[in-house]
């Protein structure tokens, strides 16, 4: 297999964006191309992750993007894997470079949904569940994660205030990220007093619906060396699956696909969880970050909440979790999220993360899943 590198990365700001889905897709892609110092003509194909293009009247975004980049003759592929679309798209691109099919690919994720309003997004996001059993019975996505939260509260004696600390920590990080959707410090009291969305989760336990696009250039090590510029190496890539519905899982406080993807990625990288300096994890809800940090092996099952209480996941503590602000504060433009995590890792490992820099970081991990973790991808990166 070829060694695979990330040669450049770029993002739009996340939030409520006025520009069209085609515009923001292109803006992020151009930023990545310029960051890599390459010409669009160097790109052999693109992988686009997007879920609700229909909301902005544009599906089949790939050829639109390629046309705008002046490379309409190059192929593109759009990938949907719910909220995990970005990392799955990255994985497919990774596999193609590793196999030697292509030496340079563009991976761009995008979503444009905020103009549709809360009812539309709540309704359509629920279509990512196992609809016959879940969405059809009135389950929303906050509701499904709230069901996991209820189980965690019951099983491990956590409190709702403990979950609130995750939100406070991620907002502390997001304030340092100029591209974050919610650049605002919050307090535990703010979280506890926010409106209940799906008990026990309140508004500030939930990530926002965001617009945004993120993009990276993925290439062979040979290509990276020839084209100069800063790059990081992808040293691990893993995927896994879980029963689509929560009811299919023996334990409601763990996500099987995370464990499977992480085991694959750690094995490929030849490292363990202890070697990871920082991680961008899928914190669509505060409970998710706690479960993720356990399933990724950073903490024992049931101990993730204690780590939060002790501040061990804050920026530059034991392990910096979501230095970007995570989905919670940076925002969650569904199809872009998994690619945006890679942008953050690239920025961190190439000294471009500014005030939120994780000190002396050499190894970063991304963890992104679809729905309630029915699909998942984990990637591990190393500075060179």
What residues are labeled active site? 83, 332
Q: Residue 106: beta bridge partners?
A: 46, 217
Site of interaction with other proteins (CB under 8 A): 118-120, 122-123, 126, 132-140, 142-144, 146-151, 154, 195-201, 245-248, 250, 252
Instruction: Report in angstroms how near the CB of residue 151 gets to other proteins at its nearest.
Output: 4
Nearest residue (CB) to other proteins, 101 versus 132: 132
Nearest residue (CB) to other proteins, 246 versus 262: 246
Nearest residue (CB) to other proteins, 54 versus 137: 137
10 Å CB burial of residue 229 (0-12, 13-18, 19+) is middle
Q: Residue 109: beta bridge partners?
A: 49, 214
Strands 232-241 and 212-220: unpaired
Nearest residue (CB) to other proteins, 192 versus 273: 192
Instruction: Report in angstroms how near the CB of residue 325 gets to other proteins at its nearest.
Output: 23
Instruction: Report in angstroms how near the CB of residue 45 gets to other proteins at its nearest.
Output: 34
Instruction: Report in angstroms how near the CB of residue 144 gets to other proteins at its nearest.
Output: 8
Cα separation, 155 vs 173, in Å, equals 29
CA distances from 355 to 178, 326, 358 (A): 10, 15, 9
Asked whether the beta carbons of 339 and 24 are under 8 A apart, the reply is: no
Strand 4-11's sheet: what is its strand order?
76-79, 45-49, 104-111, 212-220, 4-11, 232-241, 375-383, 363-370, 278-280, 320-321
């Amino acid at each position: 297999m070829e060694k695979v590198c990330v040669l450049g990365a770029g993002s739009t700001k996340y939030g409520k964006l006025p520009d069209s889905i085609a515009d923001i897709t292109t803006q992020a892609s151009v930023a990545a191309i310029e960051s890599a110092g390459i010409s669009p003509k160097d790109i052999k194909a693109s992988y686009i992750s997007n879920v609700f293009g229909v909301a902005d009247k544009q599906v089949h975004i790939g050829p639109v993007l390629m046309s705008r980049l002046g490379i309409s003759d190059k192929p593109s592929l759009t990938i949907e894997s719910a909220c995990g679309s970005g990392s799955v798209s990255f994985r497919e691109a990774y596999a193609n470079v590793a196999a030697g099919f292509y030496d340079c690919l563009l991976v761009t994720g995008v979503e444009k949904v905020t103009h549709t309003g809360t009812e539309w997004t709540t309704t359509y996001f629920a279509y990512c569940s196992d609809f016959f059993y879940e969405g059809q019975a009135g389950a929303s996505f906050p509701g499904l994660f709230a069901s996991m939260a209820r189980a965690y509260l019951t099983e491990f004696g956590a409190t709702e205030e403990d979950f609130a600390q995750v939100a406070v920590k991620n907002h502390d990080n997001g304030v340092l990220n100029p591209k974050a959707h919610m650049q605002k410090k919050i307090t535990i009291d703010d979280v506890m007093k926010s409106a209940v969305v799906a008990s026990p989760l309140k508004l500030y336990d939930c990530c926002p619906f965001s617009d945004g696009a993120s993009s990276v250039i993925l290439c062979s090590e040979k290509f990276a060396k020839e084209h100069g510029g800063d790059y990081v190496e992808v040293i691990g890539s893993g995927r896994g699956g879980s029963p689509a519905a929560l009811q299919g899982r023996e334990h409601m406080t763990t996500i099987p696909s995370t464990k499977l993807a992480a085991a694959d990625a750690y094995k490929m990288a030849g490292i363990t969880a202890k070697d990871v300096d920082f991680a961008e994890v899928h914190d669509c809800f505060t409970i998710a970050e706690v479960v993720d940090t356990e399933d990724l092996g950073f903490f024992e099952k049931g101990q993730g909440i204690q780590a939060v209480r002790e501040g061990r996941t804050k920026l530059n503590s034991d392990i910096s979790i979501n230095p970007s602000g995570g989905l919670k504060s940076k925002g969650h433009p569904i199809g872009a999220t998994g690619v945006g995590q890679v942008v953050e890792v690239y920025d961190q490992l190439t000294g471009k993360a500014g005030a939120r820099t994780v000190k002396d970081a050499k190894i970063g991990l991304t963890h992104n899943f679809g729905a309630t973790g029915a699909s998942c991808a984990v990637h591990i990166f190393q500075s060179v």
